[in-house]
Amino acid sequence: MEGERVVEVGASVNHPLGTEVIDLGDRTLLPGLIDAHIHLFLHPGAEDLQTVQESVPQRTITATLAARDDLMAGFTAERDMGTEGAGSADTAVRNAIDEGRIPGPRLRISGNAINILGGHEDAIGYNPDQHVLANANYANNADELIAVMREQFKEGADFIKIYETGSDSVRDGKFSTPSQYTEAQLEAAVKEAARLGKRVAVHATGEPGTLFAAQAGVASIDHANQLSDETIRLMKEKQIFAVPTFTIFEYFAEHAATPAQAAREHQMLELKVEEFKKQIAAGVPMAVGSDVGPFPHGTQARELMLMVKYGMSPLAALQADLLNGAKLLGWEGQIGALESGYLADVIAVPGDPLQDIGALQNVVFVMKGGMVYKK
């Protein structure tokens, strides 16, 4: 490494005079991990309640600590999929990390996500006389979408996150979720983002919202519980990534408030697993995102374990994380590989993750941009 970049990689490399050598022994070196779906401003507990009770300054401190925890767990690049009511506070966190003032991953941020009135992030069920704000910005048509997007870009967003479906249900063993925006509305959003060289990601769990998103040409369909054959065809054709986020579904199933809710969450997870197997067989492009926040930051290597458990090989899961993650975050050719000229984001784990993907849960060394954060 020289400065923030890799100079040479191999079993034997040149060591100029004065080079510091770090011997990590019998451990596996990898590029820094990538989590393409996180929420720095959330922590375990009642999600809707914490966004009401906690001030934005308090939540920004939470995000700062979460960024550190994720970095120490080996995640050197992440995509924050919405501050959930904290507006553009993620801009300050990203900038502080970039300036070296606080430790954390490289970040792509989206500010507040975008949602329709009464939609997925607005169905909170509180006394309407209290005028409790939703955890996302309102936009009910294409013109409003563009206006909100312009405001978010003005405040520092790298990309736009839109809620396209919700709320989800299972009826007679079949998954169901209403769409929130039409294909034309999503296409208008994608075109507006592209005007500035930026992209749109959607929360979309099922049809027809997933199809509308694929038709519009979004960058990723996050959660992707249900994809039709036509949606799969379009995702393969346009190289739109599915981001399954198994860990959050598992966490909600295991931490449900009532037995009935636990049964519903487990049923949702079981249906999701079956759909995932079909998607893998069909060749849907995959990236890795955990939806960490509602469960503890720094534990999201669990996502790769679940993707392997449910049908991917360890190699395919690592490729989805490192190679596809770099593409999705817009850092292809910069991160996701240990090659000359790439940013020096390096981690080390005991064992071989190609044999046991669980090795990624025990990161013993973290370097980002040539700086050692954990040794």
- Condensed to tens digits (0 to 9), the pLDDT of residues 276-311 reads 999 999 999 999 999 999 999 999 999 999 999 999
Identify the bridge partners of residue 28 per DSSP, sorted by sequence position.
349
pLDDT beyond 90 at 332: yes
| Res. 48 pLDDT band, cuts 50 70 90 | confident
**Distance in angstroms (rounded) separating the CA atoms of residues 362 and 364:** 6
| Maximum C-alpha span of the chain | 70
Q: What is the mean pLDDT of residues 6-12?
A: 93
| Predicted pLDDT of residue 149 | 98
What tens digit of pLDDT does each residue of 259-277 get?
999 999 999 999 999 999 9
| Predicted pLDDT of residue 123 | 80
Identify the bridge partners of residue 169 per DSSP, sorted by sequence position.
176
Q: What is the mean pLDDT of residues 146-150?
A: 98
Ordered structural domains, the chain, with CATH: 32-344 (3.20.20.140)
| Predicted pLDDT of residue 85 | 94
| Res. 237 pLDDT band, cuts 50 70 90 | very high
Cβ atoms of 223 and 185 within 8 Å: the answer is no
Q: 266-273 — which CB contacts under 8 Å span 24+ positions?
A: 267/170, 268/168, 268/170, 268/175, 268/225, 271/170, 271/173, 271/175, 271/225, 271/226, 272/225, 272/244, 272/246, 273/246, 273/310
| Predicted pLDDT of residue 131 | 87
Crossing angle of helices 259-282 and 246-254, in 10° steps, is 160
Dihedral angle, C-alpha 115, 121, 127, 132, nearest 10 °: -70
| Predicted pLDDT of residue 172 | 87
pLDDT beyond 90 at 124: no
Q: Which residue's entry shows tokens 């009910």?
A: 140
Give the Å distances, CA to CA, from 103 to 71, 81, 272, 287, 326. 7, 19, 35, 24, 20
pLDDT beyond 90 at 24: yes
| Predicted pLDDT of residue 251 | 97
What tens digit of pLDDT does each residue of 191-207 get?
999 999 999 999 999 99
| Predicted pLDDT of residue 194 | 98
Report the first-to-last Cα separation within the chain, whole angstroms. Answer: 16
What tens digit of pLDDT does each residue of 79-118 get?
999 999 999 999 999 999 999 999 999 999 999 999 999 9
In percent, the amount of the chain with pLDDT more than 70 equals 100
| Predicted pLDDT of residue 128 | 87
How are strands ordered across the β-sheet holding 346-350? Answer: 27-31, 346-350, 365-368, 371-374
Look up the pTM and report it: 0.97
Q: What average pLDDT does the chain have? A: 96
| Predicted pLDDT of residue 125 | 84
pLDDT beyond 90 at 47: no
